Amino acid sequence: MRIAFLTAPEGVEQVELTDPWKAALDAGHTPVLVSTERGEVQGFDHLDKADTFPVDEVVGEAAADSFDGLVLPGGVANPDVLRADEKAVAFVRDFFTQGRPVAAICHAPWTLVEADVVRGRVLTSWPSVATDLRNAGATWVDEQVKVCDHGPNKLVTSRKPDDLKAFSETFLDVFATEAATRA
């Protein structure tokens, strides 16, 4: 499977990018780093700069139909920047329109709110995002991982870095099932 990982140029919580990325690689899939700008993405360990990662594709040139699924890593700044970028929001919305699975962790559901794709869905996230999700028409739950199949696609959400193992296992399983269904 070919899996898009969408991040802003700065602000992605590094472990929320690298752990799911490694899980995808270990499972034999092809992760692709998509960003709003060419060059590199700056990872963060909470508020401290960490490593940089080369961008593979740029939003606006990348197409949802060339991927089997989308992963949205968190960090506070990452989804805040993405939700202000029209092309990034359109890219996310395209996965939902095309019925492709999406996975989001921590603060990443902010981008889903902006794409207007959470209404009627049950999600989890970092607790401070709960009110935004409810205001956008979602039901928020405090669970390690939540899979929601209300709507045209499956959505996997998770709360925080402590949940990464379960998050990665779940989204990889859901993405593989959905890819087999499409094939």
Catalytic residue among 29, 107, 148, 150: 107
Print the SS3 string covering 153-171: CCEEEECCHHHHHHHHHHH
To the query of whether residue 148 is one of the catalytic residues in this protein, the response is no
Catalytic residue among 29, 106, 148, 150: 106
To the query of whether residue 46 is one of the catalytic residues in this protein, the response is no
d(CA 81, CA 7): 9
3-state secondary structure of 175: helix
Query: Which residues have a catalytic role annotated?
Result: 106-107
